[in-house]
């Protein structure tokens, strides 16, 4: 029984071997065909490239021949023709340079005329500006009386009210209450205020950076801000509204300012 079972198994094994070998042979045949096809195709491509290369070499040779012929024809020009062409080009160059010189000359002439006209027009304007400058104003005493306290910007004076040594940026002109205070020079009322230190105060703005300050006034109802006043015009009356100088005798506190700095009024009053 065992021998009968082994025989069919051996036959089946032999059959599988035959099938595998046949399949392997078939695959090898297909691969051989593919390899042959690829090699043949590459050969055809190489032949095509060689043909194109030969054609390009032929075209290059024709191009070189054409260039050589054109060069020889240009070289073949006579010496006289070359000289004539040079003469013509030189004439054109000379004409162009002459035109440029003429244009530059005319432009320079126009610029000189413009500069002269500018100088003639600016000179009168400069003279007018110089003529427009106004002289410094003349100042008079705003109220008649003796100076009780002098100007002390850089030194110290004793204050009876504050009981200490202080600076004094103006002068105090002794005068009775309700004495009329007049504008020291022509100008414009810049401000009217009640200063916490110097009481009712009027500031007048004059030309060339001058200002005058009238403080310790009783009233300033005679003028208003922005109003133009003349020299000697009434602007207020003497009072005792300055808390910093209330212990002093009745007076006008008068200051002068030039370009933002306090100056001694005694040097300007006439």
- Please give the helix or strand (H or E) that residue 218 lies within, else none: strand 210-219
Answer whether 0.85 is exceeded by the pTM. no
Report the distance separating Cα 41 and Cα 37, nearest Å: 6
Residue whose tokens read 């705003």: 142
Report the distance separating Cα 172 and Cα 124, nearest Å: 47
CATH number of the 147-267 domain: 2.70.70.10
Residue 173 main-chain phi, psi, to 5 deg: -105, 115
What pLDDT does 238 receive?
Answer: 97
Residue 230 main-chain phi, psi, to 5 deg: -100, 165
In the chain, the largest separation of any two C-alpha atoms, in whole Å, equals 166
Listed residue (193, 194, 195, 204) closest to 235, CA to CA = 204
Tokens for 42?
Answer: 């590459």
Tokens for 27?
Answer: 């695959």
Report the distance separating Cα 162 and Cα 169, nearest Å: 16
What pLDDT does 88 receive?
Answer: 55
CA 206 to chain centre: 37
What pLDDT does 74 receive?
Answer: 45
Report the distance separating Cα 250 and Cα 240, nearest Å: 6
- Block means of pLDDT (10 residues each) for the chain, length 270 residues? 54 79 86 85 73 57 52 44 55 53 50 54 51 87 96 94 95 97 98 96 97 97 96 97 94 97 95
What pLDDT does 241 receive?
Answer: 95
């Amino acid at each position: 029984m065992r021998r009968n079972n082994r025989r069919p198994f051996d036959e089946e094994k032999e059959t599988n071997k035959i099938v595998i070998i046949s399949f392997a042979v078939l695959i090898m045949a297909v691969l051989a065909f593919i390899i042959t096809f690829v090699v043949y195709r590459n050969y055809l491509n190489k032949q095509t490239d060689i043909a194109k290369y030969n054609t390009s070499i032929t075209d290059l040779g024709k191009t070189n021949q054409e260039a050589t012929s054109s060069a020889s024809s240009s070289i073949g020009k006579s010496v006289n023709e070359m000289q004539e062409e040079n003469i013509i080009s030189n004439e054109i160059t000379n004409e162009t340079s002459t035109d440029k010189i003429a244009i530059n000359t005319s432009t320079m002439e126009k610029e000189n005329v413009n500069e002269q006209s500018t100088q003639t027009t600016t000179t009168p304007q400069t003279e007018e500006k110089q003529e427009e400058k106004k002289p410094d104003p003349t100042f008079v005493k705003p109220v008649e009386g003796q100076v009780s306290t002098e100007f002390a910007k850089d030194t110290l004076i004793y204050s009876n009210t504050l009981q200490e040594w202080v600076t004094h940026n103006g002068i105090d002109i002794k005068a009775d209450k309700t004495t009329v205070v007049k504008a020291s020079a022509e100008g414009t009322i810049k401000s009217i205020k009640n200063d916490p230190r110097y009481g009712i105060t009027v500031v007048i703005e004059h030309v060339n950076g001058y200002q005058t300050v009238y403080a310790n006034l009783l009233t300033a109802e005679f003028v208003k801000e922005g109003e133009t006043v003349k020299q000697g015009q009434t602007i207020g009356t003497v009072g005792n509204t300055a808390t910093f100088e209330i212990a002093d005798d009745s007076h006008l506190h008068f200051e002068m300012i030039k370009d933002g700095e306090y100056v001694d009024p005694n040097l300007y009053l006439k």
